[in-house]
Every structure is written in structure tokens, then in C-alpha cells.
Copies of this chain bind each other. A is one copy, B any other.
Amino acid sequence: MREALVAAAFRLFLERGYEQTTVDDIVSLAGVGRRSFFRYFPSKEDVVFPDHERCLADMTAFLAARDREHEPVRRVCDAARLVLGMYAENPSFSVQRYRLTKQVPGLRAYELSVVWRYERALAEYLRDRFAGRPDGTLRADVIAAAVVAAHNNALRSWLRSDGLGDPGAAVDHALGHVQNTFGRAAGPGPARPPIGPLPAADADDVVVLVCRRDAPLWRVVRELEEAVGRA
């Protein structure tokens, strides 16, 4: 029933345009009554985005596990991949919706509010993980925004290319960029520590840092920051 309503709605949106299609037109084509429509969708806009509520619920449940084992930035990147999964499930539907959303300002506004809810879910998770740390809420908000922007940069490229190919690699690349910028080392296990900064010859002016070539860069940078007193 729900799928039939979505299919009827999109057929009419593409044929007549979104604004020109009424809920009555949709239920008539689907062969059901108005009450059935509103049991599934609060408004005509909601039928355009039938899966976001489920996806938001999935994301919230995923993040609610609050598993302290997970590196927080990696965790929100994985949460963002749930959204990609929803789009990638049905490429032709996603591309149709992308085109429709670009044309109809009301749908664009609806989409912005959905994106904002995803971003808030990620930010709330990070605020909890960073609680008590300096600039915890600031870092949480900035990282959540960066994750959403990176995800959407890759997702939109895929939608603009008519949903051809696998969007997973592009989204992984984009989220990897965010993890490199904000995250700790990728793996959950303890990394081999770099050899710390040696006492410099002239401690006032020069820093000598010796590290293993394979040490995680973030650890080396942290050591370096401490050595030069800019942590």
C-alpha cells in the first residue's frame, strides 16, 4: 500500500509536475482513499521522502549504543553511511527525487530540514562523547557539519551522474577526508607509539623529533605540539 502510494505519486509528479498533483490525484491513481494516504504520510511533501524517518530512527538507534570502544569521529562517519545506504538501495528513485527536489522550492526546504535533523543527531552524539572536554560542543557541531557536508558532496556527485556506478567508494573517500582531518588513528587497537621528541640541542630555539616512519601522523603531530608548547 505504502509503496503503491509512492509509485503513484512519483508517476504523477513526473507527468504533471509536483505542484499540479494533488493528494486526491495520488489516491485515485493508487485506488485507495484519502485516509489511507494520511495514515502513511502527514503531507504531500512526505511522500517524496518516504524513507527519511526510518533512516533517522536507524541512525538514532545506531548512535544510541554509545559504545565507548568506538572512536567518535569514525562512529559518526559510519552513521552517515546509513543515509547513503538508503539512497543507494534504489538509484533510479533517488535520481528522480533529486531532480524533483531541485525544481520545487518547497521540497528543497523540506530536504534542508531533514539534513538538519541528521546533522543534529550526529552533533548530539558527539556532544555526549566530548562532554567535559575543552570546546566539546564546538568540536561536536563542527565535526557533525563536516561529516554531513562531505557525505552530501559525494552523494550529490553520484546523483548528478544519474546514479551510475557505486557511490560507496566516493562517500568513503569523502568521509576518510573528514576522519583524517578530525579523527584519531583509523584502527581501534593501540598503535605503536612514535619515539617521543628528544631534548633539543638548544631547547629555546630548535625541536628535534625522531619518529617511526609508520607511526600514526596524529600521534606525531600531538607530540610535536607538546614539544613546541602549542598543544
Contacts of A149 in B (CB 8 A): 141-142, 144-146
A contact residues, range: 35 or more
Q: Is A131 an interface residue (CB 8 A)?
A: no
Bound-state Cα–Cα, A229 to B217, Å: 11
Knowing A112-B109, A217-B224, the reply to whether A150 touches B146 (Cβ < 8 A) is no
Measured CB to CB, the nearest residue on chain B to A204 is B213
Knowing A137-B153, A142-B153, A146-B142, the reply to whether A207 touches B206 (Cβ < 8 A) is no
Q: Is the CB of A225 within 8 A of B230?
A: no
Bound-state Cα–Cα, A205 to B212, Å: 6
Q: Is A61 an interface residue (CB 8 A)?
A: no
Q: Is the CB of A177 within 8 A of B135?
A: yes
Bound-state Cα–Cα, A109 to B116, Å: 10
Count identical subunits in the complex.
2
Q: Is the CB of A209 within 8 A of B212?
A: no
Distance between A135 CB and nearest chain B CB, rounded to angstroms? 6
Contacts of A177 in B (CB 8 A): 135, 138-139, 142
30 contacts between A and B (CB under 8 A): A108-B113, A109-B109, A109-B113, A112-B112, A112-B113, A135-B177, A137-B153, A138-B150, A138-B177, A139-B177, A141-B149, A141-B152, A142-B149, A142-B178, A142-B181, A144-B149, A145-B148, A145-B149, A200-B213, A206-B212, A207-B210, A207-B212, A207-B213, A208-B208, A209-B210, A209-B211, A217-B221, A217-B224, A217-B228, A221-B221
